[in-house]
């Protein structure tokens, strides 16, 4: 029935035939519209399609939605809409026909089967609807529920499509339906080959059903089957699975359990015998099987398979895993296409994993670059470094509450976060750190206490709930290369920010007077002092600079992470590991350490995606082992600096 309907639709759309109006068709088919069935609806839909009348689709839509009625007085059809008087009527020319009481109208309520045919026909109508939105909705409907019946009208609607994007979408969908439903194997293979190295999920969803298999048992050699592989009982499937397959397909009776067999035999004892075998001889399973078989032949017990019959039935059959697709050339083409896609997807997954690792490395490097100054250059173990990151994130949040516009607020937040955390770092160095130089344990304990105090201060001011730090609209979304590889614009921005700070640090340390003085004080404070450099001032500025960079990192990290009082705690361990693994006192080492830690963590998460905590645990264990073999880090300092 659907094939007939769609054939007429194709002819009408292709020839642009003009037939009777919808009103004339409704009059001619009044009985079939009033009391439709799956058998009678076909000619009605075919005539509506042939009419070329724009009201045809509206009538079908109203009919399918139970919004079509027939006036009792003159049997005229109207589109119905709710109205205080009962119904607002629209005639089949599209003109308003006033209102009518509900008692004057017979509301038509087609059954589910008829509504399904109407819905299918409507999709074909809307493929050529003047409204591009309705045409796009029709394509979406076909893509979500592909059917063979949709192929012909979809092909007919391609040439008349005026929207380039919709035309490309129609052409792609036509190829997807062709490879699944076309009757010509050559056309299906050509459609498969036309996609080349396309990685689209819709393509894989169309190819996979072609390779769907089921287990089949036959007594012949499988002639006529598209066999994926031969199954050997005892190796590829168990004897139980093999016989269950025979039972499921009706090729053998259900298995007889030993308990049921004993009960049946006990109920058939006559004159000390069962099935012609003396009860005294029923001591072994073979004898019981013979007795039950004799009772089966006599019709005294239900037909069931004994152990020997099960073995014989399995031996008499061949077992296969066969494709649901009968054409072997089509499945071969689908296998080759999916194998090619799998290779490309594998390469793309590696690329995507690499991008994820690099983006995580950029985050760790951004969080650690300030620590690379305070710990790597100055040798100060600052456990409050994470709280400077948190301070920067909260600064960004506060600025967004005051400054309108997310882009403008970020422009203000970055320098303000640097200024606040720079001042906090200078205060910490002047009040605490300067008294603890060359005493790393006391420095660690003091800064750890300050870290706890700052966390509590943040909780008192901002509460324990996460605060939103919203990124600008131009950072929304992701750069998507294909269905596998994508990276968010925020991660790209952080990656760029990390490179910017790398360049800033290198310029500062190698091209400025402050950098020269920092290196001089780090290597030999006494000699630097004798040359007119104030070591206390340099230490203060260096510590403030490292803290200020941590504040900027906090703003960036807060754009995608939860801004809470524990934000910095999530990054302090990774920051120290980045500096230590890369090589203390070397910015290139920090970059290498961040790359190794970020890449290794993402690799572990990929192997065990359900447990990110395990990934961090394994990463820490790996780093402990790594330090055992390379205690000075990936890029170790050389010369006098290494001796310090």
What would the pLDDT profile of 199-253 be if each residue is shown by its tens digit? 888 888 889 999 999 898 888 887 888 888 899 888 888 888 888 888 888 888 8
Q: Which helix (H) or strand (E) holds 217?
A: strand 213-218
Whether 39 and 98 share a structural domain: yes
Whether 549 and 505 share a structural domain: yes
Give the CB-side neighbour count of residue 141, counting CA atoms within 13 A.
Answer: 17
Complete DSSP assignment for 29-80? THHHHHS--TTTHHHHHHHHHHH--THHHHHHHHHHTT-EEEETTT--EEEE
CA distance 54 to 59: 9
For residues 303 and 124, which has the higher predicted lDDT (pLDDT)?
303
Whether 137 and 243 share a structural domain: no
Residue 205 domain-assigned (yes or no) = no
Report residue 468 CA to chain centroid gap. Answer: 25
CA distance 545 to 419: 9
Taken as a whole, the chain contains a residue count of 644
Residue 331 domain-assigned (yes or no) = no
Model pLDDT for residues 48-66, shown as the tens digit of each residue:
766 667 788 788 888 888 8
Whether 319 and 350 share a structural domain: no
CA distance 469 to 394: 8
Task: Evaluate if residue 642 carries a pLDDT over 70.
Answer: no
Whether 424 and 312 share a structural domain: no
Give the alpha-carbon dihedral of 380, 382, 385, 387, to 10 degrees.
-150
Whether 471 and 539 share a structural domain: yes
Count of structural domains, the chain: 3
Whether 589 and 533 share a structural domain: yes
217: tokens are: 């048992």
Residue finishing a domain among 323, 358, 378: 323
| 8 Å CB contact between 292 and 306 | yes
Give 582-624 as a 3 state SS string. HCCCCHHHHHHHHHHHHHHHHHHHHHCCCCHHHHHHHHHHHHH
Task: Evaluate if residue 294 carries a pLDDT over 90.
Answer: no
CA distance 50 to 8: 7
CA distance 614 to 622: 12
pLDDT at 4: 42
Whether 451 and 565 share a structural domain: yes
pLDDT at 16: 39
Residue finishing a domain among 263, 292, 323: 323
Residue 333 domain-assigned (yes or no) = no
Give the alpha-carbon dihedral of 69, 75, 78, 82, to 10 degrees.
-50
Whether 304 and 377 share a structural domain: no
CA distance 549 to 195: 49
329 confidence band (pLDDT: 50, 70, 90): very high
Whether 149 and 106 share a structural domain: yes
Whether 133 and 273 share a structural domain: no
Give the CB-side neighbour count of residue 617, counting CA atoms within 13 A.
Answer: 5
pLDDT at 638: 56
CA distance 582 to 579: 5
Residue finishing a domain among 258, 291, 323: 323
* Residue of 564, 545, 542, 587 lying closest to 387 (CA atoms): 564
For residues 327 and 26, which has the higher predicted lDDT (pLDDT)?
327
294: tokens are: 């004799």
Q: What's the domain range around 151? A: 2-183
591 confidence band (pLDDT: 50, 70, 90): confident
Whether 167 and 244 share a structural domain: no
């Amino acid at each position: 029935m659907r094939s007939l309907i769609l054939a007429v639709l194709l002819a009408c759309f292709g020839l642009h035939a003009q037939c009777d109006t919808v009103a004339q068709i409704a009059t001619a088919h009044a009985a079939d519209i009033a009391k439709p069935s799956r058998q009678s609806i076909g000619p009605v839909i075919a005539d509506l399609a042939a009419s070329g009348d724009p009201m045809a689709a509206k009538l079908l839509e109203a009919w399918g939605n139970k919004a079509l009625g027939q006036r009792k007085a003159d049997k005229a059809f109207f589109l119905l809409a709710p109205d205080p008087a009962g119904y607002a009527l629209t005639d089949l020319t599209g003109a308003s026909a006033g209102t009518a009481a509900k008692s004057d109208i017979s509301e038509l309520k087609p059954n589910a089967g008829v509504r399904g045919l109407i819905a299918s026909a409507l999709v074909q109508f809307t493929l050529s609807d003047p409204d591009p939105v309705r045409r796009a909705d029709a394509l979406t409907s076909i893509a979500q529920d592909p059917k063979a019946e949709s192929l012909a009208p979809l092909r007919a609607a391609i040439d008349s499509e005026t929207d380039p994007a919709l035309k490309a979408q129609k052409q792609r969908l036509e190829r997807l339906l062709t490879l699944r439903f076309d009757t010509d194997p050559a056309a299906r293979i050509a459609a498969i080959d036309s996609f080349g190295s396309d990685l689209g999920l819709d393509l894989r969803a169309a190819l996979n059903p072609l390779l769907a298999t089921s287990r089949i048992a036959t007594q012949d050699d499988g002639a006529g089957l598209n066999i994926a592989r031969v199954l050997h009982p005892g190796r590829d499937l168990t004897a139980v699975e093999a016989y269950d397959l025979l039972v499921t397909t009706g090729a053998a009776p259900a298995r007889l359990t030993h308990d049921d067999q004993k009960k049946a035999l006990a109920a058939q004892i006559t004159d000390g015998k069962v099935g012609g075998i003396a009860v005294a001889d029923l001591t072994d399973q073979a004898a019981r099987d013979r007795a039950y078989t004799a009772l089966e032949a006599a019709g005294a017990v239900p037909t069931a398979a004994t152990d020997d019959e099960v073995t014989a039935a399995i031996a008499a059959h061949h077992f296969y895993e066969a494709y649901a697709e009968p054409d072997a050339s089509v499945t071969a083409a689908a296998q080759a296409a999916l194998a090619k896609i799998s290779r490309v997807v594998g390469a793309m997954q590696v690329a995507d994993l690499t991008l994820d690792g690099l983006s995580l490395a950029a985050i760790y490097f951004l969080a650690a670059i300030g620590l690379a100054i305070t710990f790597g250059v100055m040798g100060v173990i600052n456990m409050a470094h994470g709280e400077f990151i948190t301070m920067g994130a909260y600064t960004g949040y506060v600025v967004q509450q005051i400054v309108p516009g997310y882009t403008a607020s970020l422009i203000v937040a970055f320098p303000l976060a640097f200024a606040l955390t720079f001042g906090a770092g200078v205060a910490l160095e002047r009040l605490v750190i300067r008294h603890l130089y060359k005493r790393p344990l006391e420095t660690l304990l003091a800064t750890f206490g300050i870290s706890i105090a700052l966390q509590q201060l943040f909780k008192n001011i901002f509460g324990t709930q996460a605060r939103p730090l919203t990124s600008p609209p131009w950072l929304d979304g992701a750069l998507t290369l294909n269905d596998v590889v994508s990276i968010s614009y925020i991660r790209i921005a952080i990656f760029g920010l990390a490179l910017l700070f790398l360049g800033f640090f290198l310029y500062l340390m190698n091209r400025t007077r402050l950098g020269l003085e920092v290196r001089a004080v780090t290597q030999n404070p006494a000699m630097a002092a004798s040359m007119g450099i104030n070591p206390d001032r340099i230490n203060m500025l260096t510590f403030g600079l490292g803290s200020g960079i941590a504040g900027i990192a906090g703003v960036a990290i807060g754009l995608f992470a939860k801004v809470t009082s524990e934000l910095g705690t999530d990054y302090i361990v990774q920051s120290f590991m980045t500096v230590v693994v890369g090589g203390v006192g070397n910015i290139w080492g920090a970059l290498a350490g961040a790359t190794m830690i970020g890449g290794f963590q993402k690799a572990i998460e990929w192997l065990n995606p359900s447990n990110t905590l395990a990934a961090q645990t394994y990463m820490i264990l790996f780093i402990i082992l790594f330090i055992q073999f390379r205690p000075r880090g990936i890029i170790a300092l050389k010369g006098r600096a290494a001796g310090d």
